[in-house]
Structure 1
Amino acid sequence: MLKVNEMINAEEIYNRYHWSGDGDYDFVAVRIQDVPFKLGEIDHISHVWVDGNETDEELAGICGINVKDLQYAGDYYGDYAAIICGDCAMGGEDMGELIIEDPVVVEILA
């Protein structure tokens, strides 16, 4: 399992991509998944999970952990990690989770 909080400096990443630092985005998150990432826009949409099972119900975007809440990243599994950003997001079901609409992969971590 990836230890994302050990792979990055959350404050540095936040400042690099968030509009209040040097970046252009309102929301900055880490996404962990089972398939490799490509830089740029993501056309994947996350689904609602119920009792550990994925449903067919689509969310408004893609899930990731807010870089300010990486202590909660331990509940996510996958071989690949990336920094995703966007300008519109809502909180998810999990602690620290963001659902980012129209996300962009800005940095591939693993």
Structure 2
Amino acid sequence: MRITNEMLDRLEEVASNSDYFLVGIRCQEVSFSLGEMNHVSHVWEDGEDTGEELNGVCVVEAGSARRVFSGIFSVEYPGEHVAIVASNDGYNGEDYGELVLENAEVIEILK
């Protein structure tokens, strides 16, 4: 999915006004519903899903998203559905700008 500048603008606006400690953007193949997420992400190695579950769901952190999606990295993630996801619990993932959010909630659906 190509993340647009409008999506990034909205992410930054929501993050700056959020009561959550951690806010990020997530792309996935399954549509989102507002509220608590029951999904957890998996560990990937060399482009392959290991099947090993993480303790939460992966997002690109709001403060890093512009650089990840439109800067020097220009990353695209699979899936047509995009949402802003937040939590007060989480930790850094392995990729630049990646967070793993525990007890994650979808706070806005962008696409």
Which residue pairs with 1:7 in the alignment? 7
Describe how 1:22-101 pairs up with structure 2 within 5 A: 24-70=19-65, 71-73=67-69, 74-101=75-102
What value does the CA root-mean-square deviation take over the aligned residues? 1.3
TM-score if structure 2 supplies the norm length? 0.86
**Kept in 1: contact 2:2–2:76 (CA 8 A):** no
The alignment of Structure 1 onto Structure 2 pairs a total of residues equal to 104
Instruction: Please state whether the residue corresponding to 2:17 is helix, strand or coil.
Output: helix
Which residues of structure 2 form unaligned runs of 5+? 70-74
TM-score if structure 1 supplies the norm length? 0.87
Q: Which runs of 4+ in 1 moved over 3 A?
A: none
**Kept in 1: contact 2:24–2:86 (CA 8 A):** yes
Which residues of structure 1 form unaligned runs of 5+? 18-23
